[in-house]
Amino acid sequence: YATEEQKHRWLPRLAAGTLVPALAMTEPGQGSDLQSVETYAVSDGDGLRINGAKTFITNGQTANLVCLVVKTEKEAGARGVSLVMVETEEVEGFRRGRNLEKVGLKGQDTSELFFDEMRVPRANLLGLEEGQGFYQLMNQLPWERLVIGIGALGHMDFALDQTLAYVKERQAFGRAVFDFQNTRFKLAEQKTKAEVTRAFVNHCIELLRDGQLDATTASMAKWWGSQMQCEVIDECLQLFGGYGYMLEYPIARAWADARVQKIYGGTNEIMKELIARSL
């Protein structure tokens, strides 16, 4: 959606790693309802003056190029949402809040961001068009939701590999844990869930490749993949016994990391609502 000038300004540095990006959508009082964002941008000469706050922002502590979701027309609903690129090292009024302490995904910072009379050049309005932000974001959501489904499948495969290796080595009552019928049945169930997910995710990848992945199917991929991820990893952790609850074991970290998959990218409840609307 960027203009050619904007692409030349930012893409080379993003590719080189000198610019670290962040997408700032969620606010303290607003999550999935993007039309209701309260961070507001008003015209100020050849720029925009922005006030508001964001939270749960991935890369928030390290980002120096923030794609900021703002309202440029308060009463216009979706038509009042715009995207503004904030080069954090070149503006005043930008402040980073806490590095939030998450249950999982410890390898990535997640932060609050604050904007107090922050002035950004109008040339930083993505695509130089006001009122297009909601539609720009919505057009990218099927891709994002499929990516969540793909990640869920990878985590399922990882958990199954870890668990299979563990139960074949771990001894209980004089034999390998794998030799108990319950263990074998549980692993058979989880493997089936993973393979069903793989077939559907691969189908969605083909649809995306052909430009045919719609919002409904992407929502299915997101909710199904993340739901199966949480179920599979939880059952795998159970087979580790007490060791599965210790963070030194990768299965415990995978379990903690999995839970948010049902929340970000649109909660699974929102996914089901979107699917239901198509019925």
Amino acid at 267: T
108: enclosing H helix or E strand: none
Active-site hit among 38, 73, 129, 144: 144
Amino acid at 265: G
Contacts of 184 (CB under 8 A, 6+ apart): 178
Handedness of CA 142, 147, 148, 149 (dihedral sign): positive
Q: Is 247 helix (H, G, I), strand (E, B) or coil?
A: coil
Q: Kindly provide the b/e burial profile for residues 156-183, where b requires at least 16 CB atoms within 10 angstroms of the residue's own CB.
A: bbebbebbbebbeeeeeeeeebbeeeeb
Contact between 83 and 67 under an 8 Å Cβ cutoff? The reply is: yes
Residue tagged 């159970």 (tokens) = 238
Any catalytic annotation for residue 144? Answer: yes
Contact between 213 and 64 under an 8 Å Cβ cutoff? The reply is: no
Q: Which of 164, 152, 143 lies closest to 193, judged by CA?
A: 152
Amino acid at 31: G
Q: Which residues pair with 71 in a beta bridge?
A: 40, 81
Strands (E), the chain: 21-24, 40-44, 47-58, 65-71, 81-87, 94-99, 110-121, 171-172, 175-176
Extract the tokens encoding 194. Answer: 């993973």
Could you give the residue numbers annotated as active site?
144
